Amino acid sequence: MYSVTEDSKKYLKNYQWISAKFTLGEVGTLDNREITRLLINHHYIGLRYILQLINRIGSYAGNIAETLLICNDPMNF
């Protein structure tokens, strides 16, 4: 489980497609989705690249990209 932070909510605004399809809970609440982990650890360049990639291809990938937004298993992500 990952705790939603102010930073993760701020970083979500940087990704137009992701933020249109994905909402975070209130600050301090817990979330088990891997996309939340990426947003919380946004300062790591590799994770930032993954977010940019999902955001860029999301509208083209349709159901596949939307599945990534709800994925809660790191092995499936």
Tokens of 4: 């939603």
pLDDT at 15: 93
- Over the stretch 1-58, which tens digit does the pLDDT of each residue have? 899 999 999 999 999 999 999 989 999 999 999 999 999 988 888 888 989 999 999 9
Q: Which helix (H) or strand (E) holds 56?
A: helix 45-61
pTM flag (> 0.85): no
Whole-number pLDDT of residue 65: 85
Please give the pLDDT value at position 63.
86
Integer Cα distance of 59 and 63 in angstroms: 9
Write the burial class of residue 77 (CB in 10 Å: 0-12 exposed, 13-18 middle, 19+ buried): middle
**How many Cα atoms within 13 Å fall on the side-chain side of residue 35?**
25
